[in-house]
Structure 1
Amino acid sequence: MSGFLLDTNCISELVRNKPEPRMLEWIEEVDESLLYLSVLTLGEIRKGVAGLSQGKRRTHLETWLELDLQARFSGRILSIDPSIADRWGLLAAAAKRQGRSLSAVDGLLAATALHHNLTIVTRNVSDFVHTQAPVLNPWEV
């Protein structure tokens, strides 16, 4: 498999009131079948939506998450399996030995990308720079 693993900040950008034009241009130019999500991204989005006050915005985002987003990425939402968990353990241990911080979510995203031969697409390049996972920042393309 090759393609792109979208970080949460990329997906969130799609539903902002004023999304970054470079991000929108990039995502429109890429073949949709090459775009992947992690189950972790769905969890991070759920956490963000659940933290909003009840209202139109929250209802809109819940519908987007539960219906639109999952349908759009059907068959391209990647789970964490034992191989990915093992690779994450190696990445986390290496980061610790080097005195670097690597959150569990970012480490698992990097492990997922490495396992599936994907490039991580994110605005937060520094979160992944020491993981050996290829990274692309569409905000700077």
Structure 2
Amino acid sequence: MLLGATRVVDVTYLLDTSIYSQPLKRRPLAGVIDRWKEVGDHRCAVSVFCELEVLQGLEMAASARLHDLYRTVLQNRLSIIPFTATEAAVYARLQGAAARAGTTRPVIDLCIAATAIAHSLTLVTLNTRDFSGIDGLTLEGW
């Protein structure tokens, strides 16, 4: 399900790839899976860039088992938030701030962060260090 300009009211969490891909792991982190179940799918969404990273990983792995697992447990499970001019404006602000500070961040990480900020969502990740210090970003480690 793709979200357009209207935000789904119940969604409060934007899952990054480290969380969203857990059901595809041979040994998913039980704490992450339990927390996701506790929160509920209706309160979670992913960025189109997160979906891109998962699909890219599936193609690189070229595993029929993983493709089947994706179709069974992840495909169409959560809303996918597109990247529009709104998110692009937030991204530009974040990239400009990083450049002025003399730091660089991966483009996809900043796009995911920009999506969370633009929609007032808490970004959930296993890699809090990758997103720390981003102005306006609410971050939660599962």
Q: Which residue matches 1:72?
A: 77
Aligned residues: 132
> Deviation of residue 14 (structure 1)?
1.6
Question: 1:134 aligns to what?
Answer: 138
Distance in 2 of aligned mates of 1:62 and 1:41: 16
Q: Deviations over 1:67-87 (max 9, x none)?
A: 6423211xx110000010011
1:119 aligns with 2:128: no
Which residue in 2 is equivalent to 1:19?
28
Cα distance in 1 between the residues matched to 2:138 and 2:130 = 12
> Normalising to structure 1: TM-score of the pair?
0.86
Using the TM superposition, give the Cα deviation of residue 101 of structure 1 relative to its aligned residue in structure 2, in angstroms.
1.9
Deviation at 1:39, TM superposition (A): 0.9
What is residue 86 of structure 1 aligned with on the other side?
89
Q: Percent of pairs identical after alignment?
A: 27
Gaps in structure 1 of 5+ consecutive residues:
none
Change (3 A) 1:66 1:20: closer
Deviation at 1:130, TM superposition (A): 1.8
More helix by share: 1
**Length-normalised TM-score, structure 2:** 0.85
Find the residue that maps to 1:19 and give its secondary structure: coil
The 2-side partners of 1:96 and 1:66 are apart by 39
CA distance in 2 between partners of 1:31 and 1:45 (Å): 20
Contact between 2:24 and 2:70, CA under 8 Å: does it hold in 1? no
Alpha-carbon shift at residue 11 of structure 1 (Å): 1.4
CA distance in 2, matches of 1:78, 1:42: 10
Partners of 1:27 and 1:59 lie apart in 2 by 26
Give the secondary-structure state (helix, strand or coil) at the position aligned to 1:14: helix
Shift of 1:31: 2.6
Return 5+ residue gaps in structure 2 as ranges. Answer: 1-8
Deviation track 1:21-54 (CA, whole Å, cap 9, x = no partner) reads 11111111103211001111111011111111x4
Deviation at 1:63, TM superposition (A): 2.9
